[in-house]
Amino acid sequence: MMDHTIWIAAAAGFLLTLLIGKFLVPELRKLKAGQEIRADGPRWHASKAGTPTMGGIMFIIGVGVTVFVLGWEGMLGGGFVHLYVYLFALCFGLIGFVDDYRKVRQHQNEGLTAWQKFVLQLLAAVVFLSLMRYEGLLTNRLYVPGLQVNITVNWILYLMFAAFVIVGTVNAVNLTDGIDGLACSVTFVVMVFFTAAAAMWRLTDLVLFPSALAGGLAAFFVYNHHPAKTFMGDTGSLFLGGAVAALAFAMDMPLILIPVGIVYIAETLSDIIQVTYFKATHGKRFFKMAPVHHHLERCGWSEVKIVAVFSAVTLVFSILAYLAIQGRH
């Protein structure tokens, strides 16, 4: 039964996203919802200017329909965790949509201010964590993969830690969405990991969401692989970040984000190192460009190679993470 649920959800997410994309991409072109390219970005990205953004809408809708329809019976039985995870990710997607819409309307690469994004993201994180605790789905026991131990943490400290992890994860995924197909491919692998973990622990309700999103991302890659017909925009990348973070907390194992999110972490650290080094040396750069995927581009790597390597790295670390959680339940 569980296997059937996974494959049906993945197939539905794939087909719905693919179908929505057929209509959405031309409409985004008509609306002139094109991406403005950063002035300080790679020169070779100039050709991407005008490519429709906000394409993430297609998998957000496709996955949402799948989760509601296939999860309806579970909700009648009182199982709402898959709905909570989707709605939480949707909150971040809406923040991204507002950001994208302002960029498109104003024809510039900057939308919401960093402070506005932070406040909205923190608010969404607090609401989600409060709801999960109220429903008894969140504990203050910090599970350490591999060691199979749980460390009890003070609730206040745990909630502060959780909010930091959620906001950090969302922005790390957003930072990864810098070249065609990268965030889509890496997060596809992460969703396969969460699907496998949910299946192993027989989390019937929860397994719907990552499997449907894996299918949706596979379909989105049809439109997003190099050369991209559309970008997911902050609408899609913030949704994905919310989904990754929410699943980690819904399964009560936030530390698993360290191995499965290794690419997100590397992208974020490269950006932090670049900024810190630049300020400390009064203008020198540690990388040719940050985040690290742009550095590799400047080193001669093609976008296709970067996507393949980063996805492979994520796959290896996800397999290690899967082995590390064996025997937990």
Confidence of residue 307 (pLDDT cuts 50, 70, 90): very high
Q: Give DSSP secondary structure letters for 17-43.
A: HHHHHHHHHHHHHHTT-BPPPPTTS-G
Cβ neighbours, 10 Å, residue 13: 32
Confidence of residue 232 (pLDDT cuts 50, 70, 90): very high
Statement: residue 226 has pLDDT above 70: yes
Confidence of residue 224 (pLDDT cuts 50, 70, 90): very high
Tokens of 65: 């329909």
Interval 202-224 mean pLDDT: 95
pLDDT at 5: 87
pLDDT at 75: 82
CB 179, CB 232: distance < 8 Å = no
Average pLDDT, the chain: 90
Statement: residue 103 has pLDDT above 90: no
Cβ-Cβ contacts under 8 Å for 77 (sequence gap 6 or more): none
From 62, 82, 69, select the one nearest 198 (Cα to Cα): 82
Interval 281-307 mean pLDDT: 92
